[in-house]
């Protein structure tokens, strides 16, 4: 008699990938777009810059946090091993970034007629103009700092451009001078466009694209070439750029502070000078000097990255802003508008009363949301507006509408998150603006970031109050709404309105946990309900009923959810996950995750929407044909939009919301959109069992299919 199979141990660490290395795998996918010759050239430059910015933040937050844990437990071999693995992986990634720049992008730019001059390529005519430019536009804001006992090594700001200069000679006071540091302020543009008179000889001819050559030079190249002018009477023997990345995570003990805003403001002043976590230096910088720099920043040689090019590739976006040529960037489009809001005098309240409105940004305009708040601000029937703000930007049309509403006598309450990483200063400024206008400004719940995207307008109609609500997957940020994919639902559903009312009472009045009719929310019901829905799919599969999960999000990290997905896969549930960034689940493990498929979709827009569909016994779901008309009706399963990824912080340390999509035509639209993501065979990467990713390409006889291009055609005005 055969013994029953022993169920696998789902707590086995081997079933889960390392989160940090999973992030680096995501950044490799971004870099692949920079290497993709089918992507418009300046967009490739942008993707390279994004990959650099991603890596910067990875060091500022994730590596910095890991080093702090090592400092507390320096003998923890697992942490030390993890740091070594990260160092090796990031060295490989950065080497690939600079190869992409020097071997692919710069030659391609030159062939297109966009010449970026390097240090050894500056002809005499250009040199004269650059010398004048340096004297009048650059030198006046530079302050060279010679190093001696009276002037120790200066404080170096996080991610700033600096040069270490080796000198030979005696200064005006008779002292020997050996080293100096030149710090370059952020106010100076990093990319300089050369005027026609300063272009290299012969560069004005038409190129293969029938456009005359344009010439540019990086500020770092200019400073390095003319740095000797800062040290008259002393010989400059060498000049090398360097940049230090620092710990940028804010630490505020929210249980101890009496005024959270003042505490955050105090921490912001110190962010630029946190502990160093990485040093980048010119590839030819002498070892004696890099050793001196490492000592100054308390780093080791393993923390040093030698680069052949500018130390901050993110600054290359300045080139994109200086060039205006067709075909080098993605073609422009006009975001679409829902049919009932296309007229200039459309009444958003009447349109919402007729039917709920679903918008899909950036394919459909964020102006729908802005106009909704503006209409509420000036409508005499509106009594109150309540909203959460996580990221809104420094010049926000939404915030201005809220200011106008407060000045018009509306009761305006805004829950603004002060601890939104890297947006703290902007949010403090917005809070001040709102308070000065008379709005009630709250900073959420101590210990829990308010990440939910909620907006409620209370209006008096026919002698009774009616609530109009917006629930979204993305921030109330007009600029990112042009580049991030997100859904927003506008509704006057009474149950959702009552739920939002209860949530705002909890956020502002710190009431007991409300009982919600429609919405799921963290840190209370969202995690447990999600687990229950996954477990229900597993039970349905065991009973022979249709069982499937399709979920789209930015990250999957939380172990209990992953264990539930493994268990559901073992029961026969078909699971499709579209995860842009970090995923520590391992698909395709025999007997554990055979029925789980994970893919990432990247492209022109940053995939940001969180959408979850559970079959709940229904045989339907995302249509097999991705070209299915998006206006179809669908009553199958359960469909949710959410502000939350499947991460520990979203479930347990944040205020998050998931909202059901109830209208059949909206459900059909979203399921058709999901079908497009699952069918993408040009900008999709399939995750392998070992955590690596393989980019999809059309099979023989298969037509190329790009989800974002299809969604542009569905929703936007071309």
Q: What does the alpha-carbon distance between residue 267 and residue 251 come to, in Å, rounded to a whole number?
A: 7
C-alpha of 196 from chain center: 37
DSSP alpha helix (H) spans, 302-414: 317-322, 348-354, 367-378, 397-407
Q: Residue 695's CB: how many other CB atoms inside 10 A?
A: 16
Most distant CA pair in the chain, distance: 96
Query: CA of 619: how far to CAs of 55, 253, 337, 626, in Å?
Result: 42, 50, 32, 17
Q: Active site includes 451? A: yes
From residue 102, how far is each of 106, 165, 201, 363 by CA, in Å?
6, 25, 23, 34
Q: Which of 539, 680, 546, 551 is nearest to 620 (CA)?
A: 546
Which position has the token pair 């800062």? 230
Query: For residues 549 and 595, what is the distance between their CA atoms, to the nearest angstrom?
Result: 11
Name the catalytic one among 360, 451, 521, 666.
451
Q: Where are the alpha helices (DSSP H) in 485-580?
A: 494-509, 526-542, 559-571
Exposed e or buried b for every residue in 451-476, given b needs 16+ CB within 10 A? bbbbbbbbbeeeeeebbbbbbbbbbb
What's the N-to-C CA distance of the chain in angstroms?
A: 68
Parallel, antiparallel or unpaired: strands 449-450 and 654-660: parallel
CA triplet 314, 319, 321: central angle to 5 degrees? 105
Helices (H) and strands (E) in the chain, counts: 20, 27
Preceding amide of 416 cis, omega within 30: no
Contact assessment for residue 250 and residue 264, using Cβ atoms and an 8 Å cutoff: yes
Neighbours of 324 (CB within 10 A): 9
> What's the Cα-to-Cα distance from 30 to each of 26, 43, 293, 315, 605, rounded to whole Å?
7, 11, 31, 17, 12
User: Which H, E and C letters describe 264-303, residue by residue?
Assistant: HHHHHHHHCCCCEEEEEEECCCCHHHHHHHHHHCCCCHHH
Contact present, 227 and 160 (Cβ < 8 Å): no
Q: Which helix (H) or strand (E) holds 672?
A: helix 664-679
List Cα–Cα distances, 231 to 84, 120, 177, 226, 678, in angstroms. Answer: 41, 22, 10, 10, 61
Please count the other Cβ atoms lying within 10 Å of the Cβ belonging to residue 105. 23
CA distance 537 to 534: 5
Contacts of 146 (CB under 8 A, 6+ apart): 167, 171, 177, 179, 180
Q: What order do you get walking across the sheet with 114-117 strand by strand? A: 114-117, 214-218, 191-193
Q: State the residue for tokens 């955590």.
A: 691
Structural tokens at position 689 = 């069992």
Partners of 550 in the β-ladder:
576, 613
**Contact criterion met (CB below 8 Å) for 656 and 644:** yes
Q: How far is CA 196 from CA 2, 125, 214, 487, in A?
A: 84, 11, 8, 46
Which residues neighbour 248 within 8 Å (Cβ) at sequence distance 6 or greater? 57, 60, 61, 64, 158, 271, 274, 422
Distance CA(584)–CA(582), nearest Å, equals 7
The catalytic residue positions are: 451
């Amino acid at each position: 008699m055969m013994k029953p199979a022993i169920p696998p141990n789902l707590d086995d660490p081997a079933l889960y990938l390392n989160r940090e290395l999973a992030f680096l795998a995501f950044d490799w996918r971004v870099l692949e777009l920079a290497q993709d010759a089918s992507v418009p050239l300046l967009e490739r430059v942008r993707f390279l810059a994004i990959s650099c910015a991603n890596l910067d933040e990875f060091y500022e937050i994730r590596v910095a946090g890991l080093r702090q844990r090592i400092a507390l437990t320096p003998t923890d071999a697992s942490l030390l091993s993890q740091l070594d693995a990260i160092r090796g992986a990031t060295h490989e990634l950065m080497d690939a970034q600079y190869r992409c720049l020097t071997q692919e992008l710069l030659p391609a730019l030159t062939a297109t007629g966009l010449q970026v001059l390097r240090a050894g390529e500056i002809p005499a005519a250009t040199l004269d103009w650059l010398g004048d430019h340096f004297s009048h536009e650059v030198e006046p804001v530079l302050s060279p700092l010679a190093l001696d006992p009276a002037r120790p090594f200066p404080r170096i700001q996080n991610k700033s451009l600096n040069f270490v200069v080796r000198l030979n000679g005696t200064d005006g006071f008779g002292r020997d001078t050996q080293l100096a540091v030149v710090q370059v302020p952020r106010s100076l543009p990093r990319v300089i466009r050369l005027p026609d008179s300063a272009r290299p000889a012969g560069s004005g001819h038409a190129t293969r694209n029938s456009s005359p050559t344009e010439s540019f030079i990086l500020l770092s190249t200019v400073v390095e070439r003319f740095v000797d002018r800062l040290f008259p009477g002393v010989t400059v023997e060498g000049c090398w750029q360097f940049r230090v990345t620092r710990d940028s995570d804010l630490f505020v003990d929210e249980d101890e502070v009496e005024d959270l805003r003042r505490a955050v403001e105090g921490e912001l002043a110190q962010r630029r000078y946190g502990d160093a976590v990485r040093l980048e230096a010119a590839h030819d910088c002498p070892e004696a000097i890099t050793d001196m720099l490492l000592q100054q920043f308390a780093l080791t040689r393993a923390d040093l990255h030698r680069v052949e090019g500018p130390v901050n590739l993110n600054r290359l976006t300045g080139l994109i802003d200086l060039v205006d040529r067709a075909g080098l960037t993605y073609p422009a489009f006009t975001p679409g508008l829902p049919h009932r809001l296309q007229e200039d005098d459309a009444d958003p309240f009447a349109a919402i009363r007729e039917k709920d409105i679903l918008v899909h940004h950036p394919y459909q305009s964020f102006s729908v949301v802005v106009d909704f708040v503006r209409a509420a601000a000036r409508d005499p029937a509106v009594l109150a507006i309540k909203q959460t703000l996580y990221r809104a930007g420094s010049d926000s049309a939404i915030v201005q509408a809220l200011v106008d509403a407060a000045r018009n006598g509306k009761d305006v309450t805004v829950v603004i998150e002060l601890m939104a990483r890297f947006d703290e200063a902007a949010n403090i400024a917005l809070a001040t603006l709102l308070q000065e206008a008379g709005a009630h400004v709250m900073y959420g719940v101590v210990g829990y970031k308010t990440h939910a995207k909620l907006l409620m307008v209370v209006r008096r109609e026919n002698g009774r109050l009616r609530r109009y609500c917006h629930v979204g997957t993305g921030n109330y940020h007009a600029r990112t709404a042009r580049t991030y994919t997100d859904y927003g639902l506008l509704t006057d559903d009474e149950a959702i309105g009552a739920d939002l009312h209860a949530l705002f009472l909890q956020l502002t009045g710190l009431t007991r946990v409300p009982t919600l009719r429609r919405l799921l929310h963290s840190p209370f019901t969202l995690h447990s309900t999600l687990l229950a829905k996954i477990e229900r799919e597993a039970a349905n599969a065991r009973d022979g009923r249709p069982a499937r999960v399709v979920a789209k999000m930015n990250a999957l990290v939380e172990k209990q959810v992953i264990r539930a997905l493994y268990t559901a896969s073992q029961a026969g549930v078909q699971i499709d996950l579209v995860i842009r960034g970090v995923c520590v689940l391992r698909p395709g493990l025999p007997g554990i995750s055979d029925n789980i498929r994970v893919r990432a979709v990247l492209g022109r827009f940053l995939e940001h929407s969180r959408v979850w569909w559970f079959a709940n016994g229904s045989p339907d779901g995302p249509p097999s044909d991705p070209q299915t008309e998006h206006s179809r009706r669908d009553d199958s399963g359960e469909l949710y939009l959410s502000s939350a990824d499947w991460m520990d912080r979203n479930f347990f340390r944040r205020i998050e919301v998931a909202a059901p999509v109830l209208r059949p035509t909206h459900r059909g639209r979203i399921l058709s959109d999901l079908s497009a993501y699952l069918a993408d065979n040009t900008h999709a990467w399939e995750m392998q069992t070992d955590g690596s990713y393989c980019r999809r390409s059309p099979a023989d006889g298969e037509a190329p299919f790009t989800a974002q291009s299809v969604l542009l055609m569905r929703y936007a005005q071309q």
